[in-house]
Amino acid sequence: MEQSAPTPTLLVIDDDLSLLPFLVDMLSVMTNYRIVTARDGVEGLVAYAEHRPQCVIVDMKMPELDGAQFVRALRGDPSTLNTPIIMLTAMGSADDHFLGLAAGVDHYLVKPVEPEVLVEAIEHALALSDAERLRRLHELAEGAEDAGSLESARGMSLGGEQTQAGEEQ
């Protein structure tokens, strides 16, 4: 797309009050991208529409719209389908990993992440060609057809656990 632009814009979405300023500080020092921030998924979509960033770093657990929903929203729209997306989250379980990848992120990183690793992931995601990303997404979609029941089963079990946890409170 417009990757020929001199300084790519980076959208960082995280609801944590100490991590978001750090990410801004760190990325502004380690890279020369323009950085835009948002505090939740809805704000993120607004910021995305406004700035059309070349890459998005998104948290999973956020109020309003969570990370997976945000990613699905971008991947579901042909005009935003090819955005490089990195998920940066505290959720490290296999189920969360699966959900993140199933939503279609390029990289799934579990906090804490070393600054170099995050920068490397951003560069890698930016370097990924549209064709390659599309191929990956197709692969995911085909895999999902086979594993469709698995995914829905996992989704249901996750939901079930959540409601159960809610009742116990």
Is the separation of the CB atoms in 49 and 94 below 8 Å?
no
Q: Is 158 in the site for other proteins (CB under 8 A)?
A: no
Query: What whole-number distance in Å separates Cα of residue 62 and Cα of residue 91?
Result: 12
- By CB under 8 A, which span of 1-9, 13-21, 122-130, 148-156 interacts with other proteins? 13-21
Q: Which window, 43-51, 79-87, 109-117, 145-153, contacts other proteins (CB under 8 A)?
A: 109-117
Rule CB under 8 A: is residue 151 a binding residue for other proteins?
no
For residue 110, the 8-state DSSP code is E
Size of the site for other proteins (CB under 8 A): 31
Query: Is residue 153 close enough to count as binding other proteins by CB under 8 A?
Result: no
Long-range interactions of 151-156: CB distance < 8 A, separation 24+: 151/98, 151/102, 154/95, 154/98, 154/99, 155/99
Alpha-carbon gap, residue 123 to 50, rounded angstroms:
23
Residue 94 interacting with other proteins (CB under 8 A): no
Specify the DSSP element, H or E, that contains 19: helix 19-30
Q: Does 146 bind other proteins (CB under 8 A)?
A: no
Nearer to other proteins, 22 or 124 (CB): 22
Q: Which of 7, 22, 123, 130 binds other proteins (CB under 8 A)?
A: 22
Smallest gap from Cβ 117 to other proteins, in A, equals: 10
Cα separation, 80 vs 162, whole angstroms:
31
Site for other proteins (CB under 8 A): which residue of 15, 37, 65, 143?
15
Strands laid side by side in the 34-38 sheet = 34-38, 9-13, 55-58, 85-89, 107-110
- Residues contributing to the site for other proteins (CB under 8 A): 14-19, 21-22, 25-26, 29-30, 39-40, 61-63, 90-92, 110-116, 165-166, 168-169
